[in-house]
Chain A
Amino acid sequence: MKTSALKIALIIGLLFVLAGSESCTTKKRVMSSTQKIPAGTSVAVVIECPNNIKNVVITRFMKKNFKVRAVNYSDLYTMKDIYDVKDFKKISYNASLKNDEKSLLSMEKTFDNIYKLHFYNFEINKIQTLKEIKDKWNVKYLILLDLGEWEEVSWGRAIDLSTLELVWVENYPTQYNDVVETIIDHFINSMMSGM
């Protein structure tokens, strides 16, 4: 009796361990790079955080001689502070014509198609804007960063605006002794070395 109960407990325990180990797989370091980003290049760094943290981030890039363009750094406010900017896309997606026109349920597919085209067009428009950013501000790379707390994952991405290709991605599990500077330095070294 005791043995079978112990076996069941062991199996349940094993399942929990296995389930836990699977969630850990998303917290492993992942890195892929197709080209090294050399020091001295002009970059636009996009990150969602308070302005004092943003200053720390751009300082680390400037210390490595990157030319940091004033994209996402030219305002006293951040995107999080401006509700209209932050949620504009969300609002436009959520607004449903169906609710206004209950009698037109047979047009559901039409609305779905409009939604799909809207989504494609939105992505195409962003590409046009990025091309303008590249030409007008002479930006070579667009760098996106997101900082995670300890035991979470910080991530980064770099896009070459001349080829419009993703050239570097990394997921970096934030360590216990990490601070903003060390995480950013890690990302900068990773994108510069391609390792």
Chain B
Amino acid sequence: MLYRLILVSTFVLMMLAGTSLSHASTVVSFGYLANKSSNSSYDYLETLFPNSFASSLSAVFDVKIKKPQDIDKDLKKRFNVPLKKEYEPYELPPLMEQIGTDIFIFGSFEPLRNSQVKIVIHIFLEGSNEMFTFTNVGQMETEIFKLVDRISLVVLDFLQDDHLFKSTSMKDGSRVAILTNIEGVELNNLYASMMKLGYRILCFQSNEIRNYMKQEEFHKLKYIRSKENSYDTISDWRKLKLFRGSWTGIRYNTTVSYLQRIYKIYDLNYLETKLKLLDRLSKAFKGKADYLFIIGFDEKKNRAWVRCVDIEKKELIWMKSTIWHVKGEPVNDIVSQAIALMRKERKNPFMGLKRTR
């Protein structure tokens, strides 16, 4: 246990030393938050929101911040292109290089009824090809600063704490379908831990003696797309060459049209396909399945990643990319830590801080 503690502490120290946000040379850039409404009187929020998030973040972390108006000026000067309000995911890697940033945060907002505003934020990390998207809704006028703090906190958690995200917790006594890459005795440890923590475990993967999921295959499940919140890799449809024409034969054309259909269903429209699947899952349990809890362990059970989806709302509600084993039986320890972390109330670190808007 001691050697493991030393190992974990050393790693944590190394991680802290290398954490992108702990170092002043880390560059966090903010793009615009595009106004999705037709009302141009809200356009001023396109820069006000990102500037507010930038100020909040720089108030608690020693990072170099680039605001949208500065980036726009720089891009025009050096590349003769403006900073666009919206970007397709495949446009991000070259943009990151042009801006010279480690993290790029951008998004959109849409005023709703009852003076509410819906804000969608995308966070793209340089070199990872991964994008985290989340949505938050709040009051436009009376609670605008609370909303800014809430969103800044989500950004902060994600960047600082191993991709931590939490919009809500799994309710006590709820019915949970668990997917994992362990089996037998260890899987029983996982179920027993969850049952003791007050959850009702659904018959999902628990109905087999063995688990044939290969380690490397299972980890694909950590990328997850849901209605409003997603953590996924980006793809580039322009790189897919599915040419056909009068010079190609019937057989070739048939193959290409099948591949096009596959690409459309399982990449371009994957969200739609996934939502249908969640409906099917809910129906299989007669509408009585509350959450899908996915936990992927590494081979030695030293650490795990966790994702949690609200099945009825079809929403990713909670995730963390690394939870380390510290003491005791690994599976039980990691699960207990994960649930404790999920249930923990997060304090607002921006409260009382002086910021410029």
| Contact A93 B213, CB 8 Å, known A21-B1, A110-B266 | yes
Please determine whether A46 and B209 come into contact, CB atoms closer than 8 angstroms.
Answer: yes
Q: Which of A50-58, A62-70, A163-171, A179-187 interfaces with chain B?
A: A163-171
| A30 vs B274: C-alpha distance when bound (angstroms) | 36
A121 interface residue, CB < 8 Å from B?
yes
- The CB with the most chain B CB atoms within 10 A, among A28, A94, A166, is that of A166
| Contact A130 B203, CB 8 Å, known A26-B185, A46-B209, A93-B214 | yes
Please determine whether B188 and A109 come into contact, CB atoms closer than 8 angstroms.
Answer: no
- The CB with the most chain B CB atoms within 10 A, among A46, A109, A126, A146, is that of A109
List the 10 closest A-B pairs by CB distance, nearest first.
A106-B239, A25-B329, A32-B192, A166-B201, A32-B195, A109-B235, A164-B203, A113-B266, A127-B284, A110-B267
| A152 vs B159: C-alpha distance when bound (angstroms) | 42
B184 interface residue, CB < 8 Å from A?
yes
Closest Cβ of chain B: how far from A179's Cβ, in Å?
20
Cβ–Cβ < 8 Å partners of B11 in chain A: none
Closest Cβ of chain A: how far from B177's Cβ, in Å?
8
B280 interface residue, CB < 8 Å from A?
yes
A90 interface residue, CB < 8 Å from B?
yes
Kindly identify which residue among B202, B237, B267, B330 contacts A166, using a CB–CB cutoff of 8 Å. B202
A84 interface residue, CB < 8 Å from B?
no
Closest Cβ of chain B: how far from A148's Cβ, in Å?
8
Please determine whether A120 and B277 come into contact, CB atoms closer than 8 angstroms.
Answer: yes
| A159 vs B175: C-alpha distance when bound (angstroms) | 14
CB nearest neighbor in B for A111: B266
Which parts of B199-242 form the interface with A (CB within 8 Å)? Answer: 200-209, 212-214, 217, 220-221, 223, 233, 235-237, 239-241
Please determine whether B209 and A146 come into contact, CB atoms closer than 8 angstroms.
Answer: yes
| A161 vs B284: C-alpha distance when bound (angstroms) | 12
B77 interface residue, CB < 8 Å from A?
no
Cβ–Cβ < 8 Å partners of A148 in chain B: 185
B81 interface residue, CB < 8 Å from A?
no
Please determine whether A107 and B188 come into contact, CB atoms closer than 8 angstroms.
Answer: no
Please determine whether B221 and A119 come into contact, CB atoms closer than 8 angstroms.
Answer: yes
- The CB with the most chain A CB atoms within 10 A, among B204, B212, B213, B241, is that of B212
Please determine whether A15 and B3 come into contact, CB atoms closer than 8 angstroms.
Answer: yes
Closest Cβ of chain A: how far from B308's Cβ, in Å?
15
Cβ–Cβ < 8 Å partners of B259 in chain A: 104, 107
- The CB with the most chain A CB atoms within 10 A, among B175, B189, B221, B273, is that of B189
| A109 vs B270: C-alpha distance when bound (angstroms) | 10
Q: 30 A-B Cβ contacts within 8 A?
A: A15-B3, A21-B1, A22-B328, A26-B185, A34-B200, A90-B212, A104-B259, A106-B235, A106-B236, A106-B239, A109-B267, A112-B220, A117-B266, A117-B274, A121-B277, A121-B280, A123-B179, A123-B204, A124-B277, A124-B284, A126-B208, A130-B203, A155-B184, A155-B188, A159-B203, A164-B202, A166-B191, A169-B195, A171-B188, A171-B192
A48 interface residue, CB < 8 Å from B?
yes
A128 interface residue, CB < 8 Å from B?
yes
| A103 vs B242: C-alpha distance when bound (angstroms) | 10
